[in-house]
Structures are given as structure tokens and as C-alpha cells.
Structure 1
């Protein structure tokens, strides 16, 4: 009840000062009221904002987080002066843990490590990445390697494939690729600097789309290399201004 009154008082203070509060900022205040003196926080922000030459109409979450961090650091410093103790006082230490296991895949893991499972894994991975690539407007007309073999010489086609081998020379890069039906060789000439740099960055087992020109004897020359698009999604932020450091081993390639 007391927290609700403090929250109402803080919001009223912001509105009476002539500012607006967005939803994320309100959620932050609501959560911060459990640990901080939010009236002091809001007063400090209003004083700071009022001194700006171009006053904002909106007080957002970022501004609240910054000021809350400053106040927390100040309070921690004062405590260390009183107690005579010094050292780092992490804000996250005061935040109660809130962990939820959304899904545990342990029961679904039944692999034996056989060759067939290994092949099925790569097939499934190839299909999923192919679907992501096909969302690109400039990839929707891609064909299989077998269909590309049937194309007339000097015609331009696009194929979605997996990189299986790379050999770089002074003239360019020879890249062995495959899909679910066949394999082929694609040459990336060094005089096509932009595509050549893309080819250098490719790693084995990477699934990409090649824009190619059909040559003699089922030989292809790369005109461009198209990568899967990463969808732009708004991050799901925590209402509490804390950070997490996630530690893991690093995998590069197909592992």
C-alpha cells in the first residue's frame, strides 16, 4: 500500500512538472519503488531536466535507469564512509532472484551419435536455413543445384547450398557446395573484390545463397553471396536495471 502511494506521488510529481511518462518508464518506477526512494529519484530527474536548454516532453526509462544508478552509487558510497568499509556494492545483489525454466529439452534428447542421426541433423539444419533464406525477396527464385546444371551456359541462376570445402588461390576461391540432391564447384574471382571478401568470410557447413553464372561443364562463377537475414525484434527488457553475464564455450562452424 505504501509503495502504491509513493508511486502515485512520483507520477503526479512528473505530470505536475509538465512532463509525460511512457509505459516502460512507469514499469521501471513501479519496480524500483520496492528498493529505492522513487520520490527522491523523480525530484532529482526533474531538477536535472529543468536545467536543459531543450527540455524533453517525455521522461523515459533510460533517463530513470541512469539517475537510479547514480543515486544507488551515491548511497553505497555514503554507507562505506559511515561503516569504514569500502568495495564494490553491486545493485543486482539487492534484487531478488526470479528465474523460470521455460523448457527443459533433456527428456527430448535421445541421440545415439550414429552416422544417420548426424546426416539427419545436417539435413534438418539445411532445410531450416533454406526457409530463412527464401524469405528474402532476392532469393525466392533460387533453384536446386540439379536445376542449375540444366541452365544454359552464361545464364544467371541462384542456388541455396552448404559450403563443404574452400581452396583459395591468387586468382580467386574455389568453393565446393552441396544441397540435398547434388554438389558443385563455384569459383569466386579475386577481381570481384566485394564478393571475394564475402567468400573469404564463409566457413565450412555454412548455408548461403549464391548468385552464379553457368559456365562450361557444370562450372559456376559467383556474382554475389547472399546470407540469411536476422529478423529485427524488439528486445524483451527486464523491468529491473540489472545485467547478466552469460558464460559458455564458443562454437564456430557446424559444431
Structure 2
């Protein structure tokens, strides 16, 4: 294999490289040996630095002097767009020969101008629901059954049993119980008491305070989540020894064969007095390749997908006193204005829009697409796709899950260790629980449908949210997580809550490499 093929193999296994690490690896004469070492080392890291690679070389008794001079160690920090975008282009050129070799037929057929390749996998459509005890029972049974099936396929769970098989006053050795957590209580002494329910009954589970590692683990248990508990059945109580989440397996990423990019944005809030129109217009110029910088224009012209993660407009009547914060107090006018902005984007870019809590869509999850009656102009474009939240799609073979992120704040509030300003830890919790809205009865309403369409049945390559107005990114088990920030300046409410939005900051991803770069439209011209 050529070095570029070996690096692509590394990407396919879910690893990312810093730019310095990419250059370092590409210059190693023993690159195949080094990458094989990485792939067999079960590293608990998704983004590898030069230091990580050197540490592996030392473990394998490979002397640095026999390979190449070590590059300066980089700090873990966000790489400015003006540095990173050119690096991505360099990586593309390194891999270009490989693509021509591996996909000969596609290369021959490819036109000079690459066309978008979009597939909508799932989008929640309107389903009539009636809120009743029966409808909610059906909904939670669907949730339980979906996650129960995941656990049933796992080989690490033994002695699985249901509550109906637990006979009172009859002790059992270690058992495994798949159950929904309906209540969590912590005593003054630190013991955690859980109400655990499956389809046949409810029992009590206890995590004793002396089990400190397990107590720490229990801090991440969310009410209404379906988990697996192992322990001993003793005196009608399950003494818990371990907790298992349904979680996702390590994901092998899909890549695009063409050199195309996707730009992720959200929370535009057209109609607000705080709408950052200047930055949004700059983003449009970037996509159109009309900035002053040829360096940025070269990238912008390769953008084939614009993914909008909700809150296109500020809406009307969303919160008390909102009228004072509005530049436009008609939601129809807000959407008309938004359509005028999107019309400025070249028509070979596929624009995917999902709703947020400020949009004219069903408030309950899953949210249906923005209503046509309120935004008829948006429905008038062939390249605009209005989907529900959450939704799944494929863009040039890369699978993307989009969700506005309404449940992020509920998850943050339930786990003391998570800051209210961040979104990535909550997104990890969603994947761990295999559910978009794991907690019921807080700020995020759930529609009681017979099928739980909030269950994460597919593992995406990219998972996008918005809502918090704070951009962030991470890789979790091979899945790229990102929050696409906002185009709204700080509001008076955010100021009172000490929330500092990252206005105009978001992410662009090269779908051929799944290499993400944070872009800051304050700094682009």
C-alpha cells in the first residue's frame, strides 16, 4: 500500500490526525508498520497528535532517529481556518492519486463539475397523535423494546432475567436486568436508590455508597433511559454491581469519493434585532466563492451541501416580551426574508433545513418540517429540502444525523458534571443512551407516537446539533459530533444568564476525508 492508502485506512477506522501528525506520518519510511501499530493498539483517542505517535513508537522500540526528525509538538487547540483550509487542500492532493486508482470507473465518468448526491433516509412526517395514558404507554413500550433488542444481541450480558422471574425472598447469584429507570433517589449517606421497570414489573435497585466507582458512574444515569444492570438479587432488592449503556459500537466511517465539502450552520434567527446579518452575508459569499480571498473561494466553490440545524427565524411569541427583541414581528415576513437570503446561494448547493424551537413546526419531538403555510417561499426552491428533526440523510455517501438539540439543556441540567453552556457531552449521552430525548417530562415535550422515532437506530458519520448558540466539536467512537453555533449576537436574556454565544463560528467538513475545520466569519473577507 502507498502511504496515502494507509492513512486513509486509519481514517476509515475512525481516527483523525492533527495536520502536524498527518505530515509527520506521511514522511515516515516505515509508515505501514507505524499505522498497523496504531490500528492494533486500541488507543482511547480519536484525534492523534505527533506526541501520541511518538509514544507508540517508543513502546514498540522504534527509535525516532531511525525514522525522521520529530516535528514540534502541537498544543490541543482549535486550528484557525486560515491555517487549516490550505492543509485540507494539501491532504486532498496527497490522496488524489489513490482515488483515481481505487475508483477507476467513477473517475472516467466524473464531470469536471461535481454534482450533489443527496439521499433522504428518514424525516419525521406529521402523524396525528392523541395524548392519552394508552398512547404514552405504547410510546414507552416501543422505546423499551427498541433498546432491549440492542442489549439482547450483546455477548457481554449473561444471566439475563426479567422482573417476573425474580421470586420474592429467593436469593439469586449475579443476574442481568434490562430495565427503564423511572426514578432516581440519592440518600444523605450517598447511596443511590433506583426504581427499575421492565414490561412485567418494577423492582428496587441499590448502589451502595461504598462502591465509589459505581456511584460516580451512576451520576450519568438519566431518568427514563433503558439500561442493563448487573448484580445480586437479595431480599427483594437488586444490589447493583455494574451499569451498562446501550451505546454505539466503534464506527467505521464512510467517505465521499469526490472532493466536496459541507458547511454546517444553525440558529440564524432572521427577524431578531440581534441577527448577525453581516456575518451571514459573509457566509453566503463564502459558499458562492465571492470573498476577496482566493484561498477561501477555492474551498467555498467546492461546498455542495449547506446543513441548517434549525431556528431559521426568531419566531413570534416564543417567550414573554419577545416583541421587544424583534426587528420583524411577522413570522411570514421573517421566513420571506430568510428565503431571500437562501436565494442568493448558488443553485448547485443542496440546502437541508430542519426546524428548531423558534420555527413554525410542531413543538413536540420528533419535530415535523417547518409548516408550508408559514414559509411558502422556502418550499419554492428545488435545492432546498425541508426535513423534520431528527432526520437522517446521506450526502456523497456520508451519513448525517441532524437534530436541533432541544433536549441538550435537559440533559445538562440532569448531570451536575456537565456545564450548561456546552453541547458535546449531552450529544455523547444521547449516543450512549441511543436516544435523542432520553428524559421525559422536562422542557422538551415528546409526542406519544406508537413508534419511538427518537430512538437512534442508525449510527451516523456526522451528528449535528444547534440550539445552545455555542459551537463545539468532538469525535466519539468514530462519529463526528458538532454543534454549529449561531448567527445571532448575544441577547439580553443570554447576557443575564452569562451565556456568551460563538456568533459566526461554525464548521466545514471535507467529506472526502471527514476532516473538520472551524470557520470564523469574523476573520474571513
User: Which TM bucket (shorter chain)?
Assistant: 0.5 to 0.7
Higher relative contact order, chain-length normalized (CA < 8 Å, sep 6+): 2
5+ residue gaps, structure 2, are: 9-22, 33-85, 94-112, 266-308, 310-403, 412-437, 440-445, 447-525
3-state SS in 2 of match to 1:100: strand
| Residue 180 in structure 1 maps to residue 155 in structure 2 | no
| Residue 139 in structure 1 maps to residue 157 in structure 2 | yes
CA change 1:136–1:98 in 2 (3 A) is closer
Deviations 1:173-211 (A, max 9, x none): 011111111101111011112221122210100111111
3-state SS in 2 of match to 1:163: strand
Work out which of the two has the higher radius of gyration on C-alpha atoms and give 1 or 2: 1
Q: Distance in 2 between matches of 1:187 and 1:250?
A: 31
The aligned residue for residue 201 of structure 1 is 220
The aligned residue for residue 406 of structure 2 is 250
CA change 1:140–1:117 in 2 (3 A) is farther
| Residue 231 in structure 1 maps to residue 258 in structure 2 | no
Given that residues 174 and 233 in structure 2 are in contact (C-alpha distance below 8 angstroms), is that contact kept between their aligned partners in structure 1?
yes
Q: Distance in 2 between matches of 1:68 and 1:123?
A: 49
| Residue 123 in structure 1 maps to residue 98 in structure 2 | no
The aligned residue for residue 45 of structure 2 is none
CA change 1:151–1:24 in 2 (3 A) is farther
Given that residues 132 and 229 in structure 1 are in contact (C-alpha distance below 8 angstroms), is that contact kept between their aligned partners in structure 2?
no
Corresponding residue pairs, total: 185
Given that residues 147 and 246 in structure 2 are in contact (C-alpha distance below 8 angstroms), is that contact kept between their aligned partners in structure 1?
yes
Picking from 85, 89, 101, the partner of 1:68 is 89
The aligned residue for residue 54 of structure 1 is 29
Q: Distance in 2 between matches of 1:195 and 1:167?
A: 15
The aligned residue for residue 119 of structure 2 is 100
| Residue 189 in structure 1 maps to residue 208 in structure 2 | yes
Offset at 1:221?
Answer: 1.2
Q: Distance in 2 between matches of 1:96 and 1:228?
A: 38
5+ residue gaps, structure 1, are: 1-17, 26-47, 58-64, 73-93
3-state SS in 2 of match to 1:123: helix
Q: Distance in 1 between matches of 2:224 and 2:248?
A: 18
TM-score normalised by structure 2 residue count: 0.31
3-state SS in 1 of match to 2:203: strand
Given that residues 180 and 224 in structure 2 are in contact (C-alpha distance below 8 angstroms), is that contact kept between their aligned partners in structure 1?
yes
CA change 1:24–1:111 in 2 (3 A) is farther
Given that residues 151 and 214 in structure 1 are in contact (C-alpha distance below 8 angstroms), is that contact kept between their aligned partners in structure 2?
no
| Residue 163 in structure 1 maps to residue 181 in structure 2 | yes
* CA RMSD, Structure 1 to Structure 2 (Å): 3.5
CA change 1:71–1:192 in 2 (3 A) is closer
Given that residues 134 and 140 in structure 1 are in contact (C-alpha distance below 8 angstroms), is that contact kept between their aligned partners in structure 2?
no
Given that residues 161 and 177 in structure 1 are in contact (C-alpha distance below 8 angstroms), is that contact kept between their aligned partners in structure 2?
yes
